Structure 1
C-alpha cells in the first residue's frame, strides 16, 4: 500500500511541478504508476500563481491522472467569496476576511488579473472577481472533498477532532483545527496525513504526519511517499526516511 502526498501549495506552481517531478522519479524506481497522489489542500493564496495551480490540477485530473485534491481553509475562503453572494468563513477572526493582507486572497486575485486597490468595497470588487475567475475554477473549488481515506491512511488538510469518528468529522475541523488535534497522542486508527500548520521539516508524530513545510511563506513544498505507516521525504537524491518524533 503506497501513496504520495504533497503539502500546502499556496500558489507556488513551479514548486508544485518540481514536487510532481520528484514523484515521477520515485514511480520509475518502484515501477508503481498507480499509487494515488494526494494534494493536501491550500492550493491558493500568498504565492504568485494560484490561477496556474488550479488550472494545472484541473488539467491533470482531466487527463485521468490518479490525483486526489483536498480542500484547505484557503481554498474554502476563496470559494465562499466567489459565490453569488460573497460569504466570510465563520472560522476567521471577527475582523478578518479572505482579502485581509495576511490571508493572501489579494495575491490570488492578482493571478487572475484583478487588482484590489485600497478603499475598494466588496460590492465593487466581487463582480470583477466573478468575471475573472473561470466558472470551471469556481466549480472545482466548490466540489473539493475535505477527507480522503486510503487503506490505513487518512488525508485531511488541517486534522481531525480527536474522539470523533471519521464519518462524523465536520468540514470546519478538517479545514481549520489545530490545538486539540496537535495535542492528542491518541491512536486515531488510520495514520493522519495533514498540513495547515507549517513546520520546519516533515514530522512524523506516530499518529499523524505534518507535511506543510511553509511554501506559503517562501519555504519548501514537500512531497512524501508513504508505505503502510512509514514515510519518506522525496528529494533529488532519492528517498530520505522521516523518523518518528
Structure 2
C-alpha cells in the first residue's frame, strides 16, 4: 500500500510534452532578411507538406526581420501583404521593422541603421542612396522612402505584433526577460534581448520560439527554440512545424 500511493516530488515529475490545440498546424518561419528567393522556395515546400499531410487548419507565423541585409526586402513584404503564402499569416515585429518605423519619424536613425542593412531595404523600395553612402542627406532619403513605400507595406509594418501565443508556445522575435511573466514582457526585450535570455537555463510557463540570433542549425532546447539560421548569408531559411505535441523542421 505504501508503494502504490507513493508519488515523485513535483520537481522530479516529467512535464507533459508541449502542444498546440488539436486540429491546428503552425509553420513558424525565422528571420527572412530580404531573401524572397528563399521564402519562395520555403512557401513551395510548405504547400507540398500541406498537400501530403492535410490538417484541419494551418497558419504561418513569421518571427520578424523581413527586411534588411538581403536585396529583396520589398518583395518579401509584398508577398505577405498580397496573400501569396500557402496559409494565413501571423506577422510578428522584428527589431529591423521597429527601426524602419523609427526612421520614418526621425531621419537621424539612419546613421546607425545604415550599418546593418538599411541600404538594401532602401534600394529595394527605389530610394536613391548615393548621398546616404556619404553620410549625408538622411532627410531626403526619409522623404523619398515615405513617398515610395506602399501604404499596404506601411500598414503591415505598423500592424505587426510584438508577441503571440498558442497552446504551450510563446512566439516573439528576440526572446524574453528571465523571471518576468510572459504577459509583462517589455517591447525592448521582445525585439532586442540576447545574452540574458540565451544564457538562461531556467523554465518558462511556455516554450519560447524566437529568432534574432543566428545559429548554424535550429536550436531546440527544453525551454526555447531558435529558428534564425542566418538566411541572408547562409541560404538556409528555417521553418518549425508544430502540430499537437509534435515538432519537425523544414528548410531551404
Normalised by the length of structure 1, the TM-score is: 0.85
> Do the aligned residues in 2 keep the contact of 1:22 with 1:223 (CA within 8 Å)?
no
> Do the aligned residues in 2 keep the contact of 1:157 with 1:175 (CA within 8 Å)?
yes
**1:128 Cα deviation (Å)?**
1.2
User: Structure 1 stretches of 5 or more lacking a match?
Assistant: 90-95, 237-245
Name the residue aligned to 2:32: 9
> Do the aligned residues in 2 keep the contact of 1:40 with 1:157 (CA within 8 Å)?
yes
> Do the aligned residues in 2 keep the contact of 1:160 with 1:181 (CA within 8 Å)?
yes
**1:29 Cα deviation (Å)?**
2.3
Normalised by the length of structure 2, the TM-score is: 0.83
Bigger Cα displacement from structure 2, 23-32 vs 224-233 = 224-233
Distance in 2 between the 1:169 and 1:229 partners? 26
The correspondence for 1:173, drawn from 181, 189, 200, is 189
Name the residue aligned to 2:83: 60
CA RMSD of the aligned region, Å?
2.1
User: Structure 2 stretches of 5 or more lacking a match?
Assistant: 1-19
SS in 2 for 1:99: helix
1:81 to 2:97 alignment: no
Higher Cα Rg: structure 1 or 2? 2
Q: Deviations over 1:44-91 (max 9, x none)?
A: 001011001111111118x994211110011111121123x44639xx
Q: Deviations over 1:17-68 (max 9, x none)?
A: 111111112212221151221011100001011001111111118x994211
Name the residue aligned to 2:51: 28
The correspondence for 2:125, drawn from 102, 107, 112, is 112
Distance in 2 between the 1:227 and 1:64 partners? 17
1:196 to 2:212 alignment: yes
Shift in CA distance, 211/235, structure 1 to aligned 2, threshold 3 Å: closer
Bigger Cα displacement from structure 2, 193-202 vs 132-141 = 132-141
Distance in 1 between the 2:47 and 2:226 partners? 22
| Matched positions, count | 226
Distance in 1 between the 2:176 and 2:244 partners? 20
SS in 2 for 1:17: helix
